[in-house]
């Protein structure tokens, strides 16, 4: 199916007040977020499988929680792109080309895994902010609200991972 065929149908015009140009821009940014999120998803699986050491049980479970959340939000992003009558990028070769998030080829030490996850969060948060800004400018509150909820969720995870990394303060 060629989704682009539907661009100028009346149903699209009735769906929203967005111009084709605005929809294009929002869908492109959502696709970049989708690409980053797939790299992040697989990295969380990598860390879930390969983590080791004294914090194994805690981190093993936490990385699983992260990829489970990513899986749900990835689906919502892709389906939002379809709702806007554009095509979600769907192949890993395209994700690798589009994403800023890099794969981890080696087995990292556990604390380095947490730091790498924080770097992913920073990139994802930047991408989310870009989507929200563009969607707000176009009065696309459906997209803006969805991504704002993801952003708040990720900012909370960012705080938790930073707290994990912080050295305990020793009592004097
Ligand atoms: Fe597992």
- For the chain, the average pLDDT equals 92
Residue spans of alpha helices (H) in the chain? 10-15, 20-50, 56-83, 92-98, 110-137, 141-165
Average pLDDT over every residue of 27-40:
98
Residue range 14-33, pLDDT digits in tens: 466 899 999 999 999 999 99
Distance 35 CA to ligand 1 centre (A): 23
Distance 47 CA to ligand 1 centre (A): 10
Query: Which of 15, 40, 59, 171 minimizes the C-alpha distance to 101?
Result: 40
Which residues fall within 8 angstroms of residue 167, CB to CB, at 6 or more apart?
none
Rounded Cα distance, 75 and 37, in Å: 10
Residue range 100-159, pLDDT digits in tens: 999 999 999 999 999 999 999 999 999 999 999 999 999 999 999 999 999 999 999 999
The reported pLDDT for the residue numbered 171 is 63
Distance 45 CA to ligand 1 centre (A): 8
CATH code of the region 16-165: 1.20.1260.10
pTM for the structure as a whole: 0.89
* Residues above pLDDT 70, as percent of the chain: 89
């Amino acid at each position: 199916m060629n989704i682009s065929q539907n661009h100028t149908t009346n149903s699209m015009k009735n769906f929203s007040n967005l111009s084709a140009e605005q929809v294009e821009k929002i869908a492109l940014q959502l696709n970049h977020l989708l690409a980053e999120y797939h790299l992040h998803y697989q990295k969380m699986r990598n860390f879930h499988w390969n983590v080791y050491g004294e914090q194994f049980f805690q981190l093993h479970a936490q990385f699983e929680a992260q990829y489970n959340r990513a899986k749900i939000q990835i689906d919502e992003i892709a389906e939002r792109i379809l709702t806007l009558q554009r095509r979600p990028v769907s192949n890993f070769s395209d994700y690798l080309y589009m994403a800023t998030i890099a794969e981890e080829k080696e087995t990292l030490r556990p604390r380095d895994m947490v730091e790498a996850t924080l770097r992913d969060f920073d990139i994802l948060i930047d991408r989310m902010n870009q989507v929200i800004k563009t969607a707000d400018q176009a009065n696309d509150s459906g997209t803006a609200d969805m991504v704002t909820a993801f952003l708040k969720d990720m900012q909370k995870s960012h705080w938790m991972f930073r707290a994990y990394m912080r050295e305990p303060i020793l009592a004097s």
